[in-house]
Amino acid sequence: MPPSRSDALVLFGVTGDLAHKMIFPALYAMAKRGTLKVPVIGVAFPEWSLARLHKRIADSIKRSCGIDNQRALKHLLSLVTYVSGDYKDPATFAPIKRALGGARRPAHYLAIPPSLFETVIKGLGAANLAENARVIVEKPFGRDLASARELNQVARSVFPENSIFRIDHFLGKEAIMNILYFRFANSFLEPIWNRNYVASVQITLSEDFGVQGRGAFYETAGCLRDVIENHLFQIIALLAMEPPSGRDFGAVQSEKAKVFQAMRPLQPGDLVRGQYAGYRKEPDVAKNSDVETFCAVRLFIDSWRWEGVPWYLRSGKYLPDTATEVIVELKPPPQRLFADSAPIPKVGPANYLRFRLSPSSAIALAARVKLAGKDFVGEQRELYLFEDQPGEEAPYERLLGDAMIGDGALFTREGAVEAAWAVVDPVLRTHHRARPYKRGSWGPKEADTIIAAGSWHNPGPNEASG
């Protein structure tokens, strides 16, 4: 029996930045598609009038995408009501219950600081607002293994696991979803998708900007927590997982969790941490901060399929480009019939599969192609498939819609969250100091030592090569 659709959305943190930048535009997109038909109860501490909240919603949509459908905007605003109150005060939850009216299956979205998750979840339970309801929790899901376990225990004490939706907008991106589809919709990959043919896998998520006024947040997180442990680990899970028994979210999530469980826990020598020049002068950053704004990691998955294959992860701020790419390097032919068919220093492997995930989406397969003439000499070419499609759902629209109908395929489950934290937990406090690097570079030079052979592949222009 399919899960029931939520009949109301309670948005905690409705006056905050996340709602303004991401959630309101997603709700507007849903209104335009005709999929938003339930009341939206905004909850926050400020004593705002409903008119002020409506103005903020309109401003959000105007800034994000422009208002091109007045009827959809009017429909969205007609669904929104507002409750002001302190989350720590049990009396706040009574007007929420009144605002819900006849709704019996609400979805509670916690777009609030992680420090308040436990308070609101317990408040919902005490006010009898959790029965037949769902809770949508924004990342981060804890900041280490112990806190993740504690948060999961609190959530599970009020909601069943299948009613807890841990949202990570990264998983809602079309290009990320396409990894899962591409792997299991094409039979030609399976024979080579293992340790016998794959030499290594590189994943780079680079940004050409700094912390952008979020110094206080970054001081509590850092690149390892903010990007590597969640975003890049999710990409690894989709690339490394075994075929699920079906497409239902339980089967997919179980296989992803097995990947995290098979990851070898990191040691200090497995990562290089970096900090861009001038980070310590950012607002709300400690003058002697050792927080990393760059991280390069080498890890292994101790499974039958991937034993011995190194996975290289890299992310950082103030790097040359804003892009996310995956390079699956294939081993060279077993016999070198042609001198130029081996990996070329500073050029890279002759054969690889490249997934470009952002800022646009593409898949490319690299191969050597013979040049005209008597000599057996070739050049590197990419078979290139450009993937961007018009009309794609934005990540928050897709994820919010999925949570409302109870589809958990793109959300993270309790076991996977804790298994991922267990991999990085040993190096969260025990690590080498962050190395300085220049803005606009590819991070500290020490990151090159992470790769035993070869070099990092730096994301290039979004076009076919050769």
Q: Which residues are catalytic?
A: 231
Beta bridge partners of 42: 11, 82
Angle between helices 50-64 and 70-79 (to 10 degrees): 140
Nearest to 454 by CA among 298, 316, 303: 298
- What is the arrangement of strands in the sheet containing 294-300, beginning at the earlier edge strand? 378-386, 362-370, 352-358, 323-330, 198-206, 310-316, 294-300, 271-276, 435-437
Residue type at position 192: I
Tell the residue number behind the tokens 């998520």, with chain if given.
205
Q: Are 273 and 226 in contact (CB under 8 A)?
A: no
Q: Are 239 and 179 in contact (CB under 8 A)?
A: yes
Distance of alpha carbon 74 from alpha carbon 59, whole angstroms = 13
Distance of alpha carbon 276 from alpha carbon 294, whole angstroms = 8
Tell the residue number behind the tokens 């809602």, with chain if given.
172
Nearest to 78 by CA among 95, 62, 109, 54: 54
Angle at 218 between CA 212 and CA 222, to 5 degrees: 125
**Secondary-structure percent of the chain, ordered helix, strand, coil, rounded to 5:** 40, 20, 40
Tell the residue number behind the tokens 């290139």, with chain if given.
384
Distance of alpha carbon 18 from alpha carbon 109, whole angstroms = 11
Residue type at position 55: K
Cα-trace Rg, the chain: 24
Take residue 211 and report the two structure tokens written for it: 């912390």
Which DSSP symbol is given to 465?
-
Residue type at position 356: R
Q: Are 110 and 98 in contact (CB under 8 A)?
A: no
Tell the residue number behind the tokens 């089967």, with chain if given.
251
Burial per residue of 197-223, b for 16 or more beta-carbon CB atoms within 10 angstroms, e otherwise: ebbbbbbbbbbeebbeebbeebbebbb
Give the three-class secondary structure for 29.
Answer: helix
